[in-house]
Every structure is written in structure tokens, then in C-alpha cells.
Chains A and B, each alone.
Chain A
């Protein structure tokens, strides 16, 4: 137990601490800079012009972002996926929602003319390329604008101020380089993008061990050496249902883990992002946890049942929801500060039946209670991955 006196002492000490640390830190920096390196905080931003390559943008701490293909997800993650990161998605084994993320991720890469490696446990992986979505072409800019206006109108007035904060910088960038496109999930991608691009397809079914896939990943990544000064291109590795039981290596847990580990370290030292989905419930809990630890960015998708009366009364816009996306972990490169999001679970919706949007869960007004719903839905989200919904 703390006696009040001691508490007081503590707070004083704390202030002293802070001052001392600041002084010390500054000394440390100066010493370091005069002795060995020129400066301790040379950000990539200052060295290279921002976004010299379409589809990439500079983030904090000398990181580079690459778009996920879903503008909302980019916004939530603070800009997109880190170049060099391993993104893992926990699938819902009963629904194909992870495919939506996978498709937009790959399409975005193709649109930016980035090399893509795709591996899947299907018989004919190349056929999947035909199902990739095309960019949402608005007839002209006007329709895009009216789209945006409409969006504004749809949003309840309470949320407007929150959106306003995040929006401007992204739109600015969008206008310049089209860092992130909207995709029309109903229209297949243009043929020339699949044909002309460097898309490599690997089947996971025919390999008895993971060595073959590892080799093709190594070969793929060797085209994309780590940034030395200016980046010319970034690559994307997309692996669908990595731990699927129909694969021969399914029972070799440690092989799978060491494969993921080696992918992680290879990607880390190259200009690429690996995007891997896996059915978390089909592997043993400890393996699943290990995979979650290996992931730099960890997402989970979940379908929502069509006629869940309880949920329907609980959430507004339940009818339009496709599923739920939870963000369990956001990559922490070159920093130790965790990213704390306003909410960890978002609803996936199709806007105009075409493009995928993510929205905060909004609790429907309950009879008799007339409080603002934002406080209860957005603010109190927990990060536990136990429940279906967290609020």
C-alpha cells in the first residue's frame, strides 16, 4: 500500500525523472552524432521525395506503406501495410470473406504494376486471377464527387467530425498518385493486367513439402532487394488458406511454422509484403498462437449469420453487413509504441453492391435509452479475440 506521502514523493521523482531523461537523451544524441553517425534521426522522408513510386508512400519511423486495396483499411492501419511486413489473416472457416481482402490486395498490386506471387490450395490457381476485381471506374469525376457527397449525407451528424479529421491527407494523396484505388467487386479485372503483368501462380496442392514454395518465394523476392536509396518497385506475395487440411504438409506443424518464419525474414529484407490467410481454427491452438505472434499485422474476418435476430436488433445497418473485420495487431516497425485503435472490430459492407467499405460498429438505439451510441460502440472496444463482437 502506498501512503500519501510516498505518493507525493513519487510524483516529484517522476518529474525529475522526466527532466533527467530528457537531458540525458539529448546528451546521448549529441554524443552519438558527434562520435559516430552524422545524425540519429535521418528519416527517409527527407532523403527521398515523397511517393516517387506510385503505390508507395512514406510513413513514420522510416517505414514505407503499400496499399491494402481497401481505402478504409489503409486509413485504419495508419496508411496501409508496411513494406517488409508479414500480414496474416485469420479466416472464418465457414465463409470466404478472406478472399475479399486477398482479391483487393492482389488487384491493387496489379494496378500499380507490382509483381505478384499467388499461392493457393486450389487445383488451378491461375483461374483465380479471373475473379480479381477491377478498379471502380466512375463515368467521370462528377459521379465520384456526388458519391462522396452522398456518403457525407448518409453519415449521421455525430460522426462527421471524426471523419473530417482523418480525411484530408488521404484525399490529397489520392488525387496525386492514386495510392489506393476503389475496386468494383462485380467487374473482373482487365485482361491485359493479368496477362501483361508479372503474376506468378503456385499451387499448394501438388507440393508434398514446403521447400518448393519456399524456393519460388525466394526467387520472387530476389527480384526485389531491400531499399538501397531509391525503390523501383515493390512486390506482393499472397498465399491463400495456408494451413488448409487438403495440403500434404498439413500435419507437419513445424514445417509450416518454419516456412512462415523464413518468409517473414525474407520479406523483411526485401521490398515486399506477404499477405497470408490461414484457417486458425483448423490448426492446434498453440500453432495458431505462434502464427499470430509471427504476424506483423494480424487481421481476422468473420461472417455474420443471415438471420441472427439478436444481432440485428443490436446493430444498425445489419442488413447491409457482409461480415466483421477485426484488427488484432498493427505492425510496429522501428518503434515500440503500440498502435491503439479506436475500435478493433469493423463491419464490412458493400457500397452500392460494388466497393468494399469498412465501418465502425454502431449500436442501434435501444428502446428507452437515448444516449449517444458512439460512446458505447467506438470507445469501449476490447482487443480480446474471444467474443464475436466487442462492445
Chain B
């Protein structure tokens, strides 16, 4: 079945393996960067819906959702409006929801807390790894930093461990990062490190002219591309505007909407 594609899907080139019998989207790290003015949550919702929708050719995909930002009911309601029932998916075991709203790593044993969290993720991945696409979603990594009392080093180590899962089990990892936190120029390397790990960087920004009712912001998608094959998507930057609606998001090129 030919799925409707949007500019965002094109830019991500998650083309469901139609052109390629292998699963090209495997083992990617997607970094969603946003700021106070424009939340990048909608990209996350879009991707979750995409990975859980029943007519993806690989219907045996599983989403592992590590949520620090919002409770389950919030995501459930939003995705229901988009036509994806998270509660049902959770019962079908296609969605594994880790509610981390209250997670606190004890001061003296931050590392232990993160190791335990990674252990849970790894276990879940291993159990489900047989011939399935697994997507790990972390919303958002800045809150994980807060939960670990600011030991950025440990969070980075945690991310590197998660990154090993992409090669080992072919997991896709989606991370949300509030990029403007680190823009004050105090020599933060955290976002750079994450950008280095990432294969695709999606950045949401407000328009320079401010927020408007019909254009909610602009997306910049940097697709570092895959090394296998001779695909043309290598290192391509896509830039377009978007407007968020309850059940979908409109993506369009600047100026292409009257």
C-alpha cells in the first residue's frame, strides 16, 4: 500500500524498503532539536505514528518509549487524534512505555541509576529483537540530565551505550534535545556530541519574523545519509515550513502557500 508521504518523510527517506529490499532505516539515530518557542514534540508524534502504523511493510516494529516529559495519557490523546491508538498498541506489546516522570537518580549513585535504566532498555530490546524493527524514543534527553543531577558525562555514556544497540540489533533511536539550553556559549559540548552520534538531525525553529498563525515554524532536516549503496540523500539539507494541526502537520516549502 502506498503511504502518503510528506516533505518530512521525504527528507528522512524512511522509504519503507520499497526501493530496497533491505531495511534501510535500520540503525539510525534521529536527533530532534527544538527550542522554547517551537516545541519539536510534533516530530516525535509523527515518527511514533509512523513506526506504529499498521500498514508499514514491516508490521512487526516495536516502539520503546522512554518518557521523561509527559505522562502516557498526554501522548495517548494526541496520537489517538492522529489515528494511532497507543493504549491498544501497548496491550499488543508493540509499544513499551517507560514512565520516567518521577525518575530520580540518587546523588551518590547516578551511574547506577543510568545502568539500571539501560539494563531495562537492553532487556526489552533483547526480548523483542527477533526479526523486528525496534525504535527507542527518548523524550527528552535534557530532562535525563536533570534527573541525573547534571552529570552530563554519564548521560553521554548512557547515550553511547544506547548507540551500541543500533549496530547490534538494528534499533532506531529518536532523541529530543532542547538545543537552546546550550546556546549560551559556555562551552557546552553535549549537543555536539549528540549531533555526532546522530545520522539525521531535525531542527525546529521559529520564523525570524516571529510566530504566525499559518506558519508555526521551520524545520531543517540534515540527513547525513547512509554509506551503503549510492543513494543521493547523502549530506542533504532540507528546509521547509510547517503548520501543526490536531491530526496532522502540514509541511510546505517557504512561500509555496498563499
Partner-B contacts on A (CB < 8 A): 2, 7, 10, 13, 16-17, 20-21, 24-29, 31-32, 35-37, 40-41, 61-62, 253-255, 257-258, 261-262, 265, 268-269, 284-286, 289-290, 292-293, 298, 328-329, 332-338, 340, 344, 380-385, 390
A37 touches B85 (CB 8 A): yes
Q: Please choose the segment from B20-28, B76-84, B131-139 that sits at the chain A interface, where 4 or more of its residues have CB less than 8 A away.
A: B76-84
B114 at the interface (CB under 8 A from A): no
The distance in angstroms between the C-alpha atoms of A230 and B91, with both chains bound, is 27
B244 touches A32 (CB 8 A): no
The distance in angstroms between the C-alpha atoms of A112 and B87, with both chains bound, is 36
Q: Which residues of chain A are within 8 angstroms of B253 by Cβ–Cβ distance?
A: 2
A340 to B, closest residue via Cβ = B213
Q: Which residues of chain A are within 8 angstroms of B209 by Cβ–Cβ distance?
A: 382
B150 to A, closest residue via Cβ = A254
Among all A-B residue pairs, the 4 with the closest Cβ atoms: A382-B210, A28-B83, A285-B184, A25-B83
B150 touches A381 (CB 8 A): no
Q: Please choose the segment from B35-43, B119-127, B166-174, B227-235 that sits at the chain A interface, where 4 or more of its residues have CB less than 8 A away.
A: B35-43
A257 touches B246 (CB 8 A): no
B 91-124 binary contact with A (CB < 8 Å = 1; else 0): 1000000000110100000000000000000000
Q: Which residues of chain B are within 8 angstroms of A383 by Cβ–Cβ distance?
A: 37, 206, 210-211
Interchain CB contact (< 8 A) of B36 among A10, A16, A293: A293
B147 touches A293 (CB 8 A): no
B184 touches A286 (CB 8 A): yes
A258 touches B80 (CB 8 A): no
The distance in angstroms between the C-alpha atoms of A290 and B245, with both chains bound, is 26
A261 touches B143 (CB 8 A): yes
Count of inter-chain pairs, beta carbons less than 8 A? 137
**In the assembled complex, how far is the CB of residue A20 from the closest CB belonging to chain B, in whole angstroms?**
5
A293 touches B178 (CB 8 A): yes
Q: Is the interface of B mostly helix, strand, loop or mixed?
A: loop
B178 touches A289 (CB 8 A): yes
**In the assembled complex, how far is the CB of residue B51 from the closest CB belonging to chain A, in whole angstroms?**
15
A262 touches B210 (CB 8 A): no
B83 touches A293 (CB 8 A): no
Q: Which residues of chain B are within 8 angstroms of A292 by Cβ–Cβ distance?
A: 36
A381 touches B246 (CB 8 A): no
B210 touches A336 (CB 8 A): no
B189 at the interface (CB under 8 A from A): no
Contact of A254 with B85 at beta-carbon distance under 8 Å, contacts A289-B181, A382-B210 already known: no
Contact of A258 with B104 at beta-carbon distance under 8 Å, contacts A286-B181, A292-B36 already known: yes
B41 touches A17 (CB 8 A): no
The distance in angstroms between the C-alpha atoms of A262 and B213, with both chains bound, is 33
The distance in angstroms between the C-alpha atoms of A32 and B101, with both chains bound, is 27
Contact of A284 with B184 at beta-carbon distance under 8 Å, contacts A2-B253, A338-B38 already known: yes
Contact of A286 with B83 at beta-carbon distance under 8 Å, contacts A20-B4, A337-B246, A390-B210 already known: no
B4 touches A17 (CB 8 A): yes
Q: Which residues of chain A are within 8 angstroms of B246 by Cβ–Cβ distance?
A: 335-337
Contact of A384 with B210 at beta-carbon distance under 8 Å, contacts A7-B256, A21-B247, A36-B88 already known: yes
Contact of A336 with B78 at beta-carbon distance under 8 Å, contacts A35-B88, A380-B210, A383-B37 already known: yes
B213 to A, closest residue via Cβ = A340
A25 touches B82 (CB 8 A): yes
Contact of A36 with B87 at beta-carbon distance under 8 Å, contacts A16-B4, A25-B82 already known: yes
A28 touches B84 (CB 8 A): yes
A265 touches B83 (CB 8 A): no
The distance in angstroms between the C-alpha atoms of A2 and B253, with both chains bound, is 9
The distance in angstroms between the C-alpha atoms of A390 and B210, with both chains bound, is 10
The distance in angstroms between the C-alpha atoms of A7 and B183, with both chains bound, is 36
What are 23 A-B residue pairs whose CB atoms fall within 8 Å in the complex?
A: A2-B256, A16-B4, A17-B4, A21-B248, A25-B247, A31-B85, A62-B77, A254-B146, A254-B150, A258-B104, A262-B102, A262-B104, A265-B101, A268-B101, A284-B184, A285-B184, A286-B184, A289-B181, A289-B183, A335-B77, A336-B41, A383-B37, A383-B210
